[in-house]
Structure 1
Amino acid sequence: MANKRYASFFLFFTMPFSLLHKSYPQSVNQSSDEHQILLELKKHWEISPVLGRWSSNSAAHCNWGGITCTNGVVTGISLPNQTFIKPIPPSICLLKNLTYLDVSYNNISSPFPTVLYNCSNVKYLDLSNNAFAGKLPNDINSLSALLEHLNLSSNHFTGRIPPSIGLFPRLKSLLLDTNQFDGRYPAEDISKLAELERLTVAVNPFVPAPFPMEFGRLTRLTYLWLSNMNITGEIPESLSSLRELNLLDLSSNKLQGKIPTWIWQHRKLQYLYLYGNKFTGEIESNITALNLVEIDVSSNELTGMIPNGFGKLTNLTLLFLYFNKLNGSIPPCIGRLPKLTDIRLFNNMLSGSLPPELGKHSPLANLEVSNNNLSGELPEGLCFNRKLYDIVVFNNSFSGKLPSSLDGCHPLQNLMLYNNNFSGEFPRSLWSVVTDQLSVVMIQNNNFSGTFPAQLPWNFTRLDISNNRFSGPIPTLAGKMKVFRAANNLLSGEIPWDLTGISQVIEFDLSGNQISGSVPTTIGVLTRLNTLNLSGNQISGNIPAVFGFMTVLTILDLSLNKLSGDIPKDFNKLKLNFLNLSMNQLTGEIPISLQNEAYEQSFLFNPGLCVSSNNLVHNLPICRARTNINNDVSRRLIALFSSVGSIMLLGSAVLGIMLLRRKKHKQDHLSWKLTPFHILHFTANDILSGLCEQNWIGSGRSGKVYRVYAGDRASGGRMVAVKKIWNTPNLDDKLEKDFLAEVQILGEIRHTNIVKLLCCMSSSGAKLLVYEYMENGSLHQWLHQRERIGAPAPLDWPTRLQIAIDSARGLCYMHHHCSPPIVHRDVKSANILLDHNFRAKMADFGLAKILLGAGEDESFSAIAGTFGYMAPEYGHRIKMNEKIDVYSFGVVLLELITGRVANDGGEYYCLAQWAWRQYQENGLSVHLLDEGIRDATHVEDALDVFTLAVICTGEHPSMRPSMKDVLNMLIQFDRKPTGIQEKVIKKTCGLETVDIQNIE
């Protein structure tokens, strides 16, 4: 594509080449020449929204869009947002009077356009928001000496900024932000630009270094943006000389110490952004920077109280102090600020009440004070000026009724009041269709009362009123609803028959109410429903068979009702992670797919239920067919069975003697049985001969692991890994069959991201599993034992992300495309193996279950998980499902992101608890990341994956995502998929095996 692009450029270039000669004839009519030059420009860049209206039939090119003329000659070209791809042509500089050139927000992907060196009169040059790449030329000062504005921001420039950037004597605006410049800050060179008024060098991966004190010489600066460029240390006093500053943005660096006093006393400063650093101490109390309009010092480590001095800032519209360690009360004077629109103080240690006049004197639009210790009532005038769209006050101790100003607060979009002590009737107007903006209402865990209208507004997406005192019938739901939770209220009546309006809903919870009637068969229209909880009501009738066709349903709780009849056979089609039908009046045989240990607590206190004769896991009676066998037949059968029993007893005795003799005869000669799962080019003897100490490479709780070269090279021999998983003599025949049955399932798995189980070898004294060998060992070694394995460098971010995606793909296949699903039970970085290309594969899948079947019940908790990776439900929950793997995988993600071990013995016992505490108390910060992935390019993605990991390690299994969801989220962070990845992604979680090594 690139070659074609440049080929078309050179075709155009050769055509007007003669025009570029410096001896361009002066006698030619300048206007007609400019007209022709512009038409050639149109031909080069092809059709665009503006160029499409340039007409060759019109001689008045000064009237064309994007063209500015002075005294009849072209002096300006402004063509932003035109979808240009081709480079800037040299002919543009034939416009000798051109002083203004703007081609920003296009898709130009060439190196820096040195052809512009010939535009000797240009004063304003804007190349921003394109795809220009490569290094800036060392002679960039060959651009016009008249240049006053140079904007190269939001491109792909790399390398260091050349010293010649400081050789523009008239430059007033230099914008270099959002590129890939590295090396040291070009402070000394830029400080020579004495006329500079605007400077942006933000969002570049410079080498960490202290604040460039030289910038203090730029005394004419009004705009200084230096965020995300690895600045360390404190803000130097030399910057206090910048008395003309209007904006100061030093956010998302590594700055520390106290915020200097001169900042709070600056006479002209309007916009102050210092968030995402490590500033400590208290905020200056004597604030005299009265022109401040926006203050964001969030995500630091500030302490003390919010100063009363903020009440002097009559121009203040935005105040962000969240994610700090501020305490005390919020000064009442803040409630009297006349222009305040957005105040965010969440995640501090604030106490007392909100300013009583908050919202009464200003166009307040957003209020976020969640996760504090605030109390009292919400201010009466909160929505007095009818601008308020967000109220986020959850996790405090607010009480009383909601303010009357919320009655008819039509702009309101998000209302998050949960986990407080609010009471009284909820404003009925907020349920009104007139309130056409409100979409999220989360008011659970309060004492609200009231009823619903007949129908809720169409725009609701999430409604959670659980644990309140709402009463009356359930409203008709419609529109965009995704989550509806109304558990533990006083709702009554029947479930609405018309559910077609909420076909998008994924979670529906009416548990703990007074709902009666039957479950409507129209429940089947909820094809995206993932969670349904109707427990603890008075619902009667049969369970609709339509449940069997709700294919994405994973959590279903209908317990504590009055349901009767059979459980529909169509339940065999479901893949439920959680099912509870206990305490009803159900009868008949439980569907076969539910007769297993995963659902053994799902049918309690239903005396009419039964199971098939070959399945006793539910401790329920066996279903018996009605017969008319008379007593005579019964007596005959008894006699027959007695005779057969005697014969069998005699035969068993003879067989026992024979087995004892056989065992004694072979006690010194183990007989090995080899069960292949792939085409093998080696024999059992090849494996057994390699089980020697020099081939031993590791040990685990299940035994030793050996690296063995099996077979000879001529016949396709290969390196394999042999796991000797136990050594227990006296294994009976039942155990042998159980072992082979389990291993057979694992051996039949074919997936790129699961280590191949090549064969199994068993004898009466030992069991061997033979796997493909993975050259680069385990992820644990690369993350935590680099020095021991001699790794040259830590894993970079693209490699870590690919490992995460590969591992998730393997687990996703096991959970969602194996029947029955396979739960790994011991997901950890040591069980993620890497091949020669660092592609990851899951190992030891299902091994915990095999070991458990081998009679290791007493140590199941140890075998089936590793401390630091085990989900909280281990040990005290009888039924466990795939979500234990999701939890463990979340811990692996945390290892990849933070570089920490799963169990570091620290203050929080394990990595998952540490991460959760960091997330709650300090939010997202680059300091959470392993030093090897802290470059600015990937920080945002890495922190998003950190958030995903925290979600995966949630305490409640039902709240964790599925591995399919985890995989889809991880793939979204893979910004630039390779050819391999594109093909593999198409087969995500599929049954087809992809041989990565042979894709290309």
Structure 2
Amino acid sequence: MAEAGRVLLHLSLFFILIHYTLAQQSVLNSNIERLALLDLRSSLGLRTTEWPIKSDPCNGWRGVQCKNGRVAGINISGFKRTHIGRSNPSFSVESLVNLTFLESFNASGFSLPGSIPSLFGYWLGSLQVLDLRSSSVTGAIPDSLGNLTRLDALYLSNNRLAGSIPSALGQLMKLSVLDLSRNSLAGQIPASFALLSNLSRLDLSSNYLSGPIPPGLGNISSLQSLNLSDNDLDASIPMELGNLSQLVELNLTKNLLSGSLPVELGGLRNLRRMEIGDNELEGGLPNGLFSSFDKLQVVVLSGNKFYGALPGALLSLPTLRVLDVSYNNFTGNVSTFSSNGNGTDVLFNLSNNLLYGTLASSFRNFISIDLSGNYIQGKVPEDIQSNIKLNRNCLQSLLNQRSLGSCKLFYAERGLSFDDSGAPEPTQPPLPEHEPAPKRRRKRWIYILVGLFGGIGFIVILVLVMVAVLRKCDKTIVNQRGTANVGPVPEGDNPSLPKDPTFVSGLRDSFTYEQLLCSTGGFSEANLIKHGHSGDLFRGFLDGGSTIVVKKVNFHSLKKESYMMELELFSKYSHTRLVPLLGHCSENDNEKLLVYKYMPNADLANSLYRVSEFEDDNLQSLDWITRLKIAIGAAEGLSYLHHECNPPLVHRYCKNLHFTSFIFLSF
């Protein structure tokens, strides 16, 4: 009995220990990480319903996973931003640097316009999964991602990434999935990818990659899916790809590949999908290429220059479901095809080739077959017309056929007999003898030309609008000024400006120096927006949650009269194109502070020009409609300063006020 009691006591202690351990793991132990998550919530504009401030992040925050009391995973896929967050979405995730145990970051489908921060590669050494699919990411892929040696999966598809693929990604030895598809990446595929020995899926499709396929990819024995389609890859298909014995899917369609189909691809014994259409491949199909495939289900060889007979092994594949060899120069008697083909539950497309002969009744066993654009003659058996396409052939008593002359010529050139007892009935006008395969490159050139002429059209409209605005301004000057004197203001002569800021008319609220010091974190570098020639600009946060901009005016670099002029202007004049002045601080004689409304969209220069690849990660490309609105808005602001202010302000005042830097902030 005592023994049973001891066992029960031990079991109770064991379950209590497990419960305590799980409870500890469900509570965030790091205050630094909690602050980092709060900062991330603020910078991304996440809703409090998903990340409530009163709940523990490890226990009550959606998408947050913890291990041992530390943040291990963040998943914001499918999240919705607040109204303020939607007005200025950006890739602001700097607070992630404090989550040193983070293993997974998933923001797929969540808009993060801007470049991928280099900090991912420098501070998130524990990261194993980075998923930014469909996140509106722009710019280049940073080389620093090559430092994430623990990374298992990298998803960057369906964005606007540009530039070349960093060869540093070849250092990710543990990587199993690399998906960079549907971007605007250019250059060659890095040869260093041959070092990714654990890679199982590589998808670089729908980019602008050029050059040859690296033969070293054939060394990745673990590769199961290789998709390089819809690029500009050239040269021949490397025979080394035949070493990928685990490969299940191979997609090389829509490239510029040339040469013949390597017989070494027969080593892909586990292959289920082979898609190599829309290239410049030529030659005959090797006899032994398809004899070893017992799992192959989809074969797409369309849009090439293959010729010769279709191998019987290809037509007789036991697991075949789709065969598309259209738009080639394959030849042969269709009766042979009907006897070898496995038509049950298979879709065949043999259109636009050089097949000839007559149709047999066995074609009724095929569920769907396209034989249009060939040279098949004779009559069509009545029981097979519903499942077969036969346009542009040499068939009797059937519409939309080739001309009798072209049919006779085809058979005569090959020494074959042609039955012209029932002449074909061609379409009026005659259809082309052999239509070329549609190529993606032709569409691409169309898109380029449309974009080019569309851009030129927008520039012309922009110039016309600016000319109209300037003409209107000139007329306003004549109407308002008449014969008034116009000229430079004499130096030292500005009677409209007061000597003391306390007497400035219409002055906004006063702030204490301590209040502004706390709001900007002691004017820290982290809150510095930019250095100006008349003072530095800092971001600040008031107690009520409002964001402000504090201009720290230094009289060592700016005359007091200029400061008074700026204070007078912004307190007296108000316009939608001028940044609102909220207040000032004049406690220090040698250092004055001006407080403005914070404009989240940054300035015009930052949205038009990039100084270097390391600056301005949130840069967004401006479309022409937005540029036109900016130009009109800038003209409205200048017109107000020149013609509606009394007295009018000349251009040098705008320079002192950094007008060209701030005008975009009002949009």
- TM superposition score normalised by structure 2: 0.51
Seen in structure 2, the aligned counterparts of structure 1 residues 431 and 929 have a Cα distance that, compared at 3 Å, is farther
- Considering fraction of residues, name the structure with more helix: 2
Equivalent residue for 2:47, pick from 105, 115, 135: 135
Kindly report the root-mean-square deviation, in angstroms, between the aligned alpha carbons of the 2 structures.
4.7
Superposed CA deviations along residues 597-616 of structure 1, whole A, max 9, x for unmatched, are xxxxxxxxxxxxxxxxxxxx
Seen in structure 2, the aligned counterparts of structure 1 residues 218 and 140 have a Cα distance that, compared at 3 Å, is farther
Equivalent pair of 1:364/1:383 in contact (CA under 8 Å): no
Seen in structure 2, the aligned counterparts of structure 1 residues 194 and 367 have a Cα distance that, compared at 3 Å, is same
Equivalent positions of 1:24-35 (< 5 A) are none
Seen in structure 2, the aligned counterparts of structure 1 residues 428 and 149 have a Cα distance that, compared at 3 Å, is farther
Shift in Å, 1:239 = 1.7
Shift in Å, 1:461 = 4.2
Which residue does 1:305 correspond to in 2? Answer: 212
* Alignment partner of 1:395 is 2:307: no
Seen in structure 2, the aligned counterparts of structure 1 residues 100 and 406 have a Cα distance that, compared at 3 Å, is farther
Equivalent residue for 1:256, pick from 143, 156, 162: 162
Superposed CA deviations along residues 129-164 of structure 1, whole A, max 9, x for unmatched, are xxxx99344853544454499539xxxxxxxxxxxx
Superposed CA deviations along residues 211-256 of structure 1, whole A, max 9, x for unmatched, are 1222222222221111222222222222222111111111122222
Equivalent residue for 1:405, pick from 313, 337, 350: 313
Shift in Å, 1:351 = 0.9
Seen in structure 2, the aligned counterparts of structure 1 residues 928 and 141 have a Cα distance that, compared at 3 Å, is closer
* Alignment partner of 1:174 is 2:78: no
Which residue does 1:367 correspond to in 2? Answer: 274
Shift in Å, 1:289 = 1.0
Equivalent residue for 1:267, pick from 155, 173, 182: 173
Q: SS of the counterpart of 1:172?
A: strand
Once residues 222 and 491 of structure 1 are traced to their aligned partners in structure 2, the CA distance between those partners, rounded to angstroms, is 62
Superposed CA deviations along residues 463-500 of structure 1, whole A, max 9, x for unmatched, are 23322346564362277x4xx432343445x77xxxxx
Equivalent residue for 2:391, pick from 487, 500, 514: 487
Which residue does 1:245 correspond to in 2? Answer: 151
Shift in Å, 1:168 = 11
Q: SS of the counterpart of 1:302?
A: strand
Which residue does 2:90 correspond to in 1? Answer: 184
Seen in structure 2, the aligned counterparts of structure 1 residues 929 and 432 have a Cα distance that, compared at 3 Å, is farther
Equivalent pair of 1:333/1:355 in contact (CA under 8 Å): no
Equivalent positions of 1:848-927 (< 5 A) are none
Equivalent pair of 1:511/1:537 in contact (CA under 8 Å): no
Once residues 433 and 404 of structure 1 are traced to their aligned partners in structure 2, the CA distance between those partners, rounded to angstroms, is 8
Seen in structure 2, the aligned counterparts of structure 1 residues 293 and 928 have a Cα distance that, compared at 3 Å, is farther
Superposed CA deviations along residues 735-764 of structure 1, whole A, max 9, x for unmatched, are xxxxxxxxxxxxxxxxxxxxxxxxxxxxxx
Once residues 478 and 148 of structure 1 are traced to their aligned partners in structure 2, the CA distance between those partners, rounded to angstroms, is 64
Shift in Å, 1:443 = 2.0
Equivalent residue for 1:151, pick from 63, 73, 96: 63
Once residues 428 and 306 of structure 2 are traced to their aligned partners in structure 1, the CA distance between those partners, rounded to angstroms, is 36
Seen in structure 2, the aligned counterparts of structure 1 residues 270 and 581 have a Cα distance that, compared at 3 Å, is closer
Equivalent residue for 1:322, pick from 226, 229, 252: 229
Once residues 368 and 621 of structure 2 are traced to their aligned partners in structure 1, the CA distance between those partners, rounded to angstroms, is 33
Which residue does 1:201 correspond to in 2? Answer: 107
Shift in Å, 1:360 = 3.6
* Alignment partner of 1:349 is 2:253: no
What fraction of aligned residue pairs are identical, expressed as a percent? 26
Shift in Å, 1:296 = 0.9
Once residues 169 and 465 of structure 1 are traced to their aligned partners in structure 2, the CA distance between those partners, rounded to angstroms, is 66
* Alignment partner of 1:436 is 2:336: no
Which residue does 1:414 correspond to in 2? Answer: 322
Seen in structure 2, the aligned counterparts of structure 1 residues 929 and 325 have a Cα distance that, compared at 3 Å, is farther
Once residues 356 and 294 of structure 2 are traced to their aligned partners in structure 1, the CA distance between those partners, rounded to angstroms, is 25
Seen in structure 2, the aligned counterparts of structure 1 residues 436 and 932 have a Cα distance that, compared at 3 Å, is farther
Shift in Å, 1:202 = 1.6
* Alignment partner of 1:339 is 2:239: no
Seen in structure 2, the aligned counterparts of structure 1 residues 929 and 401 have a Cα distance that, compared at 3 Å, is farther
Residue 424 of structure 1 aligns with an amino acid whose one-letter code is: G
* Alignment partner of 1:230 is 2:136: yes
Equivalent positions of 1:735-814 (< 5 A) are none
Equivalent pair of 2:217/2:241 in contact (CA under 8 Å): yes
Seen in structure 2, the aligned counterparts of structure 1 residues 186 and 581 have a Cα distance that, compared at 3 Å, is closer
Q: Relative contact order, CA 8 A, sep 6+: which one is greater?
A: 2
Q: SS of the counterpart of 2:95?
A: helix
Q: SS of the counterpart of 1:399?
A: strand
* Alignment partner of 1:210 is 2:118: no
Q: SS of the counterpart of 1:357?
A: helix
Seen in structure 2, the aligned counterparts of structure 1 residues 240 and 330 have a Cα distance that, compared at 3 Å, is same
Residue 397 of structure 1 aligns with an amino acid whose one-letter code is: K
Once residues 198 and 351 of structure 1 are traced to their aligned partners in structure 2, the CA distance between those partners, rounded to angstroms, is 41
Equivalent positions of 1:492-511 (< 5 A) are 492=396, 509=400
Equivalent pair of 2:318/2:342 in contact (CA under 8 Å): yes
Seen in structure 2, the aligned counterparts of structure 1 residues 458 and 174 have a Cα distance that, compared at 3 Å, is farther
Seen in structure 2, the aligned counterparts of structure 1 residues 371 and 581 have a Cα distance that, compared at 3 Å, is closer
Residue 367 of structure 2 aligns with an amino acid whose one-letter code is: F
Q: SS of the counterpart of 1:405?
A: helix
Equivalent pair of 2:353/2:374 in contact (CA under 8 Å): yes
- TM superposition score normalised by structure 1: 0.35
Shift in Å, 1:172 = 2.0
Equivalent positions of 1:476-555 (< 5 A) are 476-477=383-384, 481=387, 484-492=388-396, 509=400
Task: Provide structure 1 residue ranges, at least 5 long, that are not aligned to the other structure.
Answer: 1-69, 76-96, 102-115, 118-132, 153-164, 496-507, 515-535, 541-557, 561-578, 583-780, 791-926, 934-1000
Once residues 209 and 226 of structure 2 are traced to their aligned partners in structure 1, the CA distance between those partners, rounded to angstroms, is 15
Residue 269 of structure 2 aligns with an amino acid whose one-letter code is: S
Task: Provide structure 2 residue ranges, at least 5 long, that are not aligned to the other structure.
Answer: 1-13, 29-44, 406-418, 431-456, 467-619, 627-667
Once residues 97 and 171 of structure 2 are traced to their aligned partners in structure 1, the CA distance between those partners, rounded to angstroms, is 24
Equivalent pair of 1:455/1:475 in contact (CA under 8 Å): no
Which residue does 1:381 correspond to in 2? Answer: 289
Once residues 243 and 399 of structure 1 are traced to their aligned partners in structure 2, the CA distance between those partners, rounded to angstroms, is 47
Once residues 385 and 138 of structure 1 are traced to their aligned partners in structure 2, the CA distance between those partners, rounded to angstroms, is 51
Shift in Å, 1:429 = 6.0
Equivalent positions of 1:466-477 (< 5 A) are 466-469=373-376, 473-474=380-381, 476-477=383-384
Q: SS of the counterpart of 1:295?
A: strand
Once residues 188 and 409 of structure 1 are traced to their aligned partners in structure 2, the CA distance between those partners, rounded to angstroms, is 55
Superposed CA deviations along residues 777-835 of structure 1, whole A, max 9, x for unmatched, are xxxx9999699899xxxxxxxxxxxxxxxxxxxxxxxxxxxxxxxxxxxxxxxxxxxxx
Once residues 389 and 351 of structure 2 are traced to their aligned partners in structure 1, the CA distance between those partners, rounded to angstroms, is 9
